[in-house]
Amino acid sequence: MIEKSFVMMKPDAVSRRLMGPILSRFEEKGLKIVALKLRTVDEELAKDHYGEHSDKPFFDGLIKYITSYPVLTMVIEGDEAISVIRKMVGSTNPKEAAVGTIRGDYGLDTGRNIIHASDAPGSAKREIALFFDEDEICDYSMFDEPWVYE
């Protein structure tokens, strides 16, 4: 089933110049980038996005971190994209993330874990709507789709 997922390269990924290598992983997998935006996140948007963590002790630090530097936000599409991307991203704690995953290869600390990816269809829909207008999401076919999908 073709799905859309929200993915955000966090400030540490942007500041460490990892946008290209990480973006390449998604494209090399055969996933389709249908929206892409480099932006700063204001406090209100950050609190909306991370609202489920508002009662946790790390919430204020998370909001300060995510608003501290630009992030790269994306909508990525593909067959079962949400679960495929979550596997590519790896465990939340980079020390526990498998080598070969984005967090396993580029991260060392949970508080600086490089990337966010939607965990379910409902959160993907909510997160995409927070960061993108519908007219910012492109609908197109890739010439190599017959080689990616059976």
Catalytic residue among 31, 32, 116, 132: 116
* 116: annotated active-site residue: yes
3-state SS record for the chain: CEEEEEEEECHHHHHCCCHHHHHHHHHHHCCEEEEEEEECCCHHHHHHHCHHHCCCCCHHHHHHHHCCCCEEEEEEEEECHHHHHHHHHCCCCCCCCCECEHHHHHCCECCECCEEECCCHHHHHHHHHHHCCHHHCCCCCCCCHHHHCC
Query: Which residues have a catalytic role annotated?
Result: 116
